[in-house]
Structure 1
């Protein structure tokens, strides 16, 4: 009778005849539910801040308990665990503490008992390599310029997305930046210590663990003896491995390493830097100056050979740059323009974004009779903005160039608020965007780092690169860099002396581009990549012309990435609209985490995600072999195929969960 009831129920659901996954045999141990949330004991230390930053980047939910707060909740058995529907529940899947002695007495006992009962892991964010954590200190000191190594055990425990070598930067030889204790295992009987990441004394000699697992007393602690902060490159590279180890690779959250680059002003000429007078010809150079003293070629514009070089570079690197174009430049160049012909001939190999027809300034009407310029009190009209958007779309269509009309980069990000002259957007911008179906408009991340709505559109912040719009040669780049970043006494503008956000450098010589600018600019871009930030970078068409000075910077970013990460963890080269989608998902998820809209837990090898609010895209990261469950009836399940996308040795994806809906996943046995 029982089998007929099940069969009849399945038939009513239209599932009769489908092979069902058999439920796992009951475990000998009592059932345990593990909620997918991390507990952070926060003492405002740098080590804790570094791990909180990584949790935030990936979107992993956590509760931060301020250890210094008066009247804070105490760590008790009831705070850490309870019973739900007759099943013991751990309220946290992992614990992050400042060090092994962060809490004492009854709290330490409650925490240890909790970790033993539920096999919950703990990270000691930063501590001394001493006997309390199963180590003896073999050496301590500054690690700048050395190279750490991920061990085979480390790769198996969560750091498998890394090839093995993790450099420790030495950004300023005059400053000690990275300190660590090298530790050797010194455990009592019944305990073990397994190094996951090791380091070495500069110049050779002592080696030892910088991150390792101390297993003792029925518990596991990942002991970190490396001082790090959230902005250091190696901290970001190792951060995901720490989270994976802590959660055993099963958690809410999602991470990718993004790298997209926009090349603005394609088809237009850009003004050129004057290395004699330290100004930009056609922009801020005095028009009364003797033309004979100005550069012969006063503008920079790509050629057909530069387009062919771009296509070949893309093929060789497996990364596409985004061509941000102005059709008016093609029309101005004439019907036989070789650059236009090359762009059109290679249109299937390129990605395009509308940059308006003529790169017209779309904010206030500017008054240049004063320096700096000011607004006249009038605005560029909605009709003029619409014409700039629509004419460029029409030009692209006439050439068969594929574009998404919803994407837009205005000239100089104009129309958006620009301090100090324009504290508010041009009021005509939003109506023009709406009328033309624009949903994504670029903004400058150095001014606005957070996306915001503009009419029906949303801003997409972009990182500027210090490869200037008005240079095409190495000599020009070095000269302008020296002008901006050296003191007046050294022949520079002295701007760096009065700007708290800038640092003066010694004048760069002929090798300054290769030895200083490329390493500095590629490091900045690389840090954006490994911080899981999807924001694109931007440069200009002038940087792909003549000496093609953008490529060495991009190559340095990609070379370092490919030296550090496995091929299973490629850079994600997203398009503009996809960046906006990722921004939207991250913002919605952050709000949902703060309101505890999502409940997620692990029970009997199954993950259940329940949405208690409006429909939401939920980020999930799971071990390889995890499968979707599309139906569950009387304990029997219908498999829905492999979950997510492979990345870094795991499976991860954003899954849409309806209001009051559920997502079920089955972990590999």
Structure 2
């Protein structure tokens, strides 16, 4: 269970005097201060404070940012930090994030104001990236410590960390090492200073010794608490993503607006249909509109009943459910060509309850403009007046309705509000079709579709298409036209090597492309050795980013060599190696993902518009938001909403959405023993008055460290 932080209760008069505030109107009051649920982020423009701000944004936790690099910034003083509301002392921020333990000049009045504020209200401070020194509770690195690269280091959560803010982790915190030529992480490893009340939460072995040095720890002194972080990071790095939740929970005592969960969903497109195969000689895909070489012969890839057995067993062994986007015409055609027999469909239908199902249209037809495929790339057909020829509303209606009818006739458990069109067609696709098909929205109305799959690589933000909200899906770089690992590696080589190496020259023609390979992959080993680790890392990065958007592959990837499974295993097994049982992967279907995205957008809009008020007084949390908006909060286990239950358990806490009403929502926190009074082991340290030394910032964390070459995605398919 998370530790609940209780602040020392002072009288209102004492609080006002301590901060030098003007007294408000005299009113009877319990003396318990009001703590607003908002974080103060003091930024120096570096990647560490930016990463914490990004995490707060992702969770939906409100914060105020003060940019130290701005000449017109707000001055941090007593009035900026606290005031009175209805005669009650109010702390405007529940936590303070600084770039380091003291980013101000020596003798700074602003640092003094912050120290007094933290002491008075029991407000915790996060030192986003600081030098190890006695002012932060640590010995300097030159005293038996270390300063330097920690690329590839295996850090570990301590027993105190597992019992406290990082109880959602199993223990290991691996640091990335994506490139041998780029410094990605830098750290100061050190042990607590003599007499300092310092508890390491995450540590690693100091090189050349068996001693553990702190990377993240809590320093208690002078009635203040600091989370001291001595390694640098950016918001995309796995080590930060693993610790981000705990950093926020530590600074808020597990009581804050917003929430974070780890999501993973995988859609398998074109089920019952067949996907055309990449031709390793022609370097294109016969049957695809972009492959015009007449010597090519289509070679379809289609799953078998054995592949269905494998998929169902794999789901059971991984406690995971795949979403199957199906095209009923594929089975109808198979039966027509095979004397009424389709063993694949028979097997899937018999095992239909093992999977979730999504309408992917009947024939997988392109539902945007009418395509002119006599040229490469294809273009939209036009009318005599130059206007675009659009696929008709009736055609779209039929594609949706016929597939729905086929699925229902075969007992597939469908949700008719969900749809993924073939190739995400009907929606805009650049450069050929910059606008949605105007017939798509009305057809979705006809069919009652509310959730429409979109391609995250070209349409990432949720938007409305007629009555439906889009749900962007991440395309996995496991190509639709590959059933064998060698085919996947061959196409990868074609795309990302130079013309001199036998490739397409994509990188030469597009200098900003970062997917270029220095040399072709070995087609017998390249998929397993290079592509799988790369794609696993990218997908796990999405999972760890509080991002519910699903990923998609194709049925061809579950056939033949079953090349999708090494990536899926890498994500799921890698996740299970890192996270405790109280933090399971959240595996939602498309409509639930769409609902989550909708609520997040409305919540963010309300926060940005200043329409949310939230504060804590003692063990009571009050939240007021626009009526009809769903509020989002994270609270300790045992918290209640009014007289009823709140949220659901995740990562050792309760979190969830609650519909706001005209009256404020009132949450009651569980009674808990007060946290230990901050101690100094008989040795006091004055509030830091000297600014922290400049910290080392390696090249790799001044911007996002690439997981590896950024990938251009090939995932279209034609039938």
1:165 and 2:172 are equivalent in the alignment: yes
Decide which moves more: 54-63 or 500-509.
500-509
Deviation at 1:143, TM superposition (A): 1.0
1:354-369 superposed matches below 5 A: 354-369=359-374
Alignment counterpart, residue 508 of structure 1, candidates 502, 517, 521: 521
Deviation at 1:449, TM superposition (A): 1.3
Task: Indicate the residue corresponding to 1:288 in structure 2.
Answer: 294
Deviation at 1:370, TM superposition (A): 1.9
Root-mean-square deviation (CA, aligned residues, Å) is 1.7
1:192-591 superposed matches below 5 A: 192-201=197-206, 207-283=212-288, 284-289=290-295, 298-334=299-335, 335-376=340-381, 377-499=388-510, 500-505=512-517, 506-509=519-522, 510-591=524-605
Deviation at 1:392, TM superposition (A): 0.5
1:598 and 2:612 are equivalent in the alignment: yes
1:574-610, Cα deviation, whole Å (9 max, x unpaired): 0000000010011011111111212111112111112
Q: Gaps (5+ residues) in structure 1?
A: 1-23, 630-638
CA distance in 1, matches of 2:666, 2:370: 53
CA distance in 2, matches of 1:204, 1:305: 53
Task: Indicate the residue corresponding to 1:185 in structure 2.
Answer: 192
Q: Is the 1:589–1:617 contact (alpha carbons within 8 Å) kept by the matching residues of 2?
A: yes
1:615 and 2:628 are equivalent in the alignment: yes
1:175 and 2:188 are equivalent in the alignment: no
1:400-433, Cα deviation, whole Å (9 max, x unpaired): 1111111010111111000111111011111111
Alignment counterpart, residue 658 of structure 2, candidates 655, 660, 663: 655
CA distance in 2, matches of 1:464, 1:46: 28
Higher relative contact order (CA 8 A, sep 6+): 2
Decide which moves more: 166-175 or 63-72.
63-72
CA distance in 2, matches of 1:226, 1:180: 4
Decide which moves more: 46-55 or 654-663.
654-663
SS at match of 2:259: coil
Q: Is the 2:187–2:232 contact (alpha carbons within 8 Å) kept by the matching residues of 1?
A: yes
SS at match of 1:34: strand
Deviation at 1:71, TM superposition (A): 3.4
CA distance in 2, matches of 1:203, 1:416: 58
Alignment counterpart, residue 641 of structure 2, candidates 613, 617, 628: 628
Q: Is the 1:116–1:219 contact (alpha carbons within 8 Å) kept by the matching residues of 2?
A: yes
Distance change in 2, residues 1:421/1:318 (3 Å): same
CA distance in 2, matches of 1:70, 1:142: 34
Q: Is the 2:622–2:664 contact (alpha carbons within 8 Å) kept by the matching residues of 1?
A: no
CA distance in 1, matches of 2:654, 2:393: 47
SS at match of 1:524: helix
Decide which moves more: 46-55 or 173-182.
173-182
CA distance in 2, matches of 1:358, 1:449: 26
CA distance in 1, matches of 2:474, 2:499: 28
1:205-260, Cα deviation, whole Å (9 max, x unpaired): 56311111111111011111111001111111110100000001110111110000
1:311-345, Cα deviation, whole Å (9 max, x unpaired): 11111100111000000101111132101101110
Decide which moves more: 367-376 or 560-569.
367-376
CA distance in 1, matches of 2:648, 2:549: 21
Task: Indicate the residue corresponding to 2:152 in structure 1.
Answer: 145
1:85-143, Cα deviation, whole Å (9 max, x unpaired): 33211111000011122234211111110000110000011111122212121101111
Normalised by the length of structure 1, the TM-score is: 0.91
SS at match of 2:389: strand
- Which aligned segments of 4 or more residues in structure 1 are displaced greater than 3 angstroms? 26-30, 201-207, 284-287
Q: Is the 1:628–1:666 contact (alpha carbons within 8 Å) kept by the matching residues of 2?
A: no
Task: Indicate the residue corresponding to 2:670 in structure 1.
Answer: 667
Distance change in 2, residues 1:80/1:28 (3 Å): closer
Distance change in 2, residues 1:397/1:420 (3 Å): same
Q: Is the 1:606–1:667 contact (alpha carbons within 8 Å) kept by the matching residues of 2?
A: no
CA distance in 2, matches of 1:172, 1:668: 49
Q: Gaps (5+ residues) in structure 2?
A: 1-5, 12-30, 382-387, 673-719
SS at match of 1:364: coil
Distance change in 2, residues 1:56/1:27 (3 Å): closer
SS at match of 2:316: helix
Q: Is the 1:249–1:623 contact (alpha carbons within 8 Å) kept by the matching residues of 2?
A: yes
Task: Indicate the residue corresponding to 1:126 in structure 2.
Answer: 129
Q: Is the 1:474–1:549 contact (alpha carbons within 8 Å) kept by the matching residues of 2?
A: yes
Task: Indicate the residue corresponding to 1:14 in structure 2.
Answer: none
Deviation at 1:483, TM superposition (A): 1.1
CA distance in 2, matches of 1:129, 1:527: 29
Between structures 1 and 2, the one with greater strand share = 1
Deviation at 1:626, TM superposition (A): 1.5
CA distance in 2, matches of 1:481, 1:68: 44
Task: Indicate the residue corresponding to 1:68 in structure 2.
Answer: 69
CA distance in 1, matches of 2:620, 2:241: 30
Q: Is the 1:143–1:201 contact (alpha carbons within 8 Å) kept by the matching residues of 2?
A: no
Aligned residues: 627
Deviation at 1:197, TM superposition (A): 0.9
CA distance in 2, matches of 1:299, 1:67: 60
Q: Is the 1:624–1:668 contact (alpha carbons within 8 Å) kept by the matching residues of 2?
A: no
